[in-house]
Amino acid sequence: MKSTQFFLIIILLMFISYLDLNYSLNGFLIISSDLLLILYFLVKKSVPVFLINFNLNFNLIYYLLFVICFYCLYFLCTTFIFTNSEILLFDDLSKFNIIKVLILYPILEEVIFRKYLLLSLTKIKSELSSILILSLGFTAIHFMTNSSLLYVFLLSVFFSWVYLKTKNIYLTIFLHVLNNILSFTNLINFLSKSKISLVLVIVILIVVILFTFFKIKNDKINVHSNGE
């Protein structure tokens, strides 16, 4: 894939997101176009989306802790230190929205961005450049949502790094789902109003994030046995 093709796909996805939002299509246009894009990748690249046989030969707990702590740290800092109201919370708890946010979007976005676009970029760019370019594109398609764009970018960088390290699409989907689950919770308000000092909570979160990051970084994974 050439860089121009990547940016054309991002522009197309942004336009589709605009149409979906502008005409109140409730995600149906986004989901339909994502499925068609995946079908296109399947036909063009002849690479299966999922492999049935895979091994979870990594320390899952560290990945989970990193996502949870990073979510808490980011929104505690931006919301209560810098008085920024960018908490990712979903008010519409209809069944379709829950399914869409917790299942459909994580699967479709991870398959398109990590499984196909990221791996395509790594064939023409360095891994670092590929991660940064992809994350900018991933952030761009969330521009018209109520998401914190900096948070989306940083999380995409992490998910992309994890995918290149593990080659396990199941893992990034699971982490994406976990992050979206956190957006349905009131965890940030609970932490901010707890009797524990906010500074102490932030320090603990930073320590856990650093610890889990180095554990993930040093985790030896057999990428050939994981579901690509």
Q: Which residues fall within 8 angstroms of residue 131, CB to CB, at 6 or more apart?
A: 118, 157, 160, 161, 164
Whole-number pLDDT of residue 133: 96
Q: What are phi and psi of 51, to 5 degrees?
A: -110, 140
Task: Report the chain's terminal Cα–Cα distance, integer Å.
Answer: 19
- The predicted pLDDT at position 59 comes to 80
Is residue 48 exposed (0-12), middle (13-18) or buried (19+ Cβ within 10 Å)? Answer: exposed
pLDDT at 93: 64
Give the pLDDT score at 190: 74
Task: Give the pLDDT of residue 225.
Answer: 42
Say how many C-beta atoms besides its own lie within 10 A of residue 16's C-beta.
Answer: 18
How many Å separate Cα 24 from the centre of its chain?
24
User: Rounded distance, CA 211 to CA 141, Å?
Assistant: 31
The dihedral sign for the CA sequence 145, 148, 153, 157: negative
Please answer whether residues 94 and 179 qualify as being in contact, where contact means their C-beta atoms are separated by less than 8 angstroms. no
pLDDT by residue (tens digit) across 103-143?
A: 999 999 999 999 999 999 999 999 999 999 999 999 999 98
Instruction: List Cβ neighbours of 27 (8 Å cut-off, separation of 6 or more).
Output: 20, 97, 100, 104, 105
Low-confidence ranges of the chain (pLDDT < 70): 45-58, 79-93, 186, 195, 221-228
CA nearest to 141, candidates 181, 172, 109 = 109
Rounded Cα distance between 213 and 27, Å, is 34
Give the largest CA-CA distance in the chain. Answer: 56
Give the separation between CA 114 and CA 138, rounded to whole angstroms: 10
